[in-house]
Structure formats: C-alpha cells, structure tokens
Chain A
C-alpha cells in the first residue's frame, strides 16, 4: 500500500511514518512525504495516485481542505483523511462534505492508524 503523508512539519511527518512502521498487519507500507499541498499535487502528478493520503489541515500556502478539494475536483478518488490538531465537529463535517473518509486528531497512536488502514483497505 502506497501512503502519502502531507504535513508542513517534518517532525510530524516523521512521527506519522514511525507510527505506520509499527503496524504489522498490512505488509510493507510504502510511505512517501510531501511538505505542502502543492508538493502533494506535484508528487501525485509524477507518481500517480497513492492508495491513501494522510494530510494535515493547517498548512501555509494551501490548507489540507483545499488540497482535498483540488484532488477531488481533478477526479482523484483515493481515500483521504486528516491528521490534525483540529477537533471541532464543524471541521469534521466540512472534511466529510469535501470527500474525506476519516479525521484523526493529534495526538494519536499506531493503533489509530491501524484502524484507519483497516477501514480503507
């Protein structure tokens, strides 16, 4: 499974990758990173759609919700979820209305992502 982690914080990208590496039930996860929404779009253009996108919400230049809308507008249907410090229901509703499948609130554990992978696979 190819996973694209999108977050402007390199520290958070590393934590997410580390948590994903602790999940044993899904074989080898191929985890790529993008430091912004623009980078994510460029990565997808060059490499094709991943099997899963894990994306922060608040980022400079392009918010995660804007990235999601761009991808859905371009016809991409891959599972997309937010990994964010935001937790308000209005934002979860906005994410779902825009085409996100899940919403993970920081802090999180490896078990959180195991449940996400079970849901999307």
Chain B
C-alpha cells in the first residue's frame, strides 16, 4: 500500500474517541478533547508508548502530568491516589496507550500488530523516536489538567 494511502487513512478522530470512551465508560472520569496545547515542562510526567509494526509503522505516545496519571490509576484500581505505586501507574498508563494504539491501528487499513506497552516516568522528558516524526498530537482536558496523545510515524 502506498505511503500516501496509509497517511490519509490515519483517523485522529478515532484515536480521540477511543480515549474519550476509555475515560468515560471504563473509568467514569470527565474528559474533553480540546484545541489547546499540551504543556510540557511538568515537574514529573508519565509517558505510555505502544508501537504499531507491519505494513504501517508508528508509535502512539500518551503523555500525562504525574498528578493526572496518579488520579487515573487510582480510578482504575478503585484506590486512593496516595496509595498508588509506580508499578500500578505503569500498568494503568500502559493500558491507556494500548487501547489508543489499538483504535489507531484499527483505523489504518494495513496489516500490522501492536507491541506491548512501555512506560516512562520522570522530569523534563523529551520524546524522540529515531526514524520517525511526530505527525499528530491530540490534546485533552480532564478536569483542569491536560494530557496528550501523539502519533509518531516512521519516516520513509
């Protein structure tokens, strides 16, 4: 399949809907896609990444400030935010990336598979995927906090 055909099939709306559905129906949290920009430079962030490999190669990165990631994890595990461990944080954010990547992969008519999620936590994080470029970024608000889903596509 030609690169241009794959590119035009990438449906950011499908990605956004999957995140909104996950937040709403599975977590019971408010979320809204916004035209705002995700603010970098948080004290600490959590990034969840899933790669899509095959006839179309890309990476889906979800990035959240740690406070929002902690609250989302607490909602998933039905626990208090103060009790969330790093392991649970990784599990939860990895799963969000997994669901979003699955929706994106489903929107692309190509033979490809998902990787297992990877999760990164730290301060002043910069995302760089060698051989790929940032093609799309969808931003969302949950309460007053913003998070983003990025689509990095392999360079030809």
Decide: B105 and A88 in contact? CB cutoff 8 A.
Answer: yes
Chain A window 68-106, contacts with chain B (Cβ cutoff 8 Å), 1 for yes, 0 for no: 000000000000000011111010000000000000011
Instruction: Sample 27 A-B pairs with CB under 8 A, ordered by A number.
Output: A9-B98, A11-B73, A11-B91, A11-B92, A14-B76, A15-B76, A18-B78, A58-B98, A58-B116, A60-B116, A85-B102, A85-B103, A86-B102, A86-B105, A87-B102, A87-B105, A88-B105, A90-B111, A106-B22, A106-B98, A106-B102, A107-B18, A107-B22, A107-B25, A107-B26, A107-B99, A109-B25
Query: Given known contacts A14-B76, A15-B76, A107-B99, what 14 new A-B pairs fall within 8 Å (CB)?
Result: A9-B91, A10-B77, A11-B77, A58-B114, A84-B102, A85-B98, A85-B103, A85-B114, A87-B102, A87-B103, A105-B102, A106-B99, A107-B21, A109-B25
B137 is an interface residue with CB less than 8 A from chain A: no
- Nearest chain B CB to A16 CB, angstrom units: 9
Write the residues of chain B forming the contact surface with A, with a CB cutoff of 8 angstroms. 18, 21-22, 25-27, 73, 76-78, 88, 91-92, 94-95, 98-99, 101-103, 105-106, 111, 114, 116
In this complex, how many residues of chain A approach chain B with their Cβ under 8 Å: the count is: 21
Write the residues of chain A forming the contact surface with B, with a CB cutoff of 8 angstroms. 9-12, 14-15, 18-19, 58, 60, 84-88, 90, 105-109
Task: Report the bound CA distance from A10 to B76 in whole Å.
Answer: 9
Dominant SS among interface residues on chain B: helix
Task: Report the bound CA distance from A60 to B98 in whole Å.
Answer: 14
Contacts of A58 in B (CB 8 A): 98, 114, 116
Given A58-B116, A107-B18, A107-B26, verify A11-B102 contact (CB < 8 Å). no
Contacts of A107 in B (CB 8 A): 18, 21-22, 25-26, 99
Contacts of B106 in A (CB 8 A): 86-88, 105
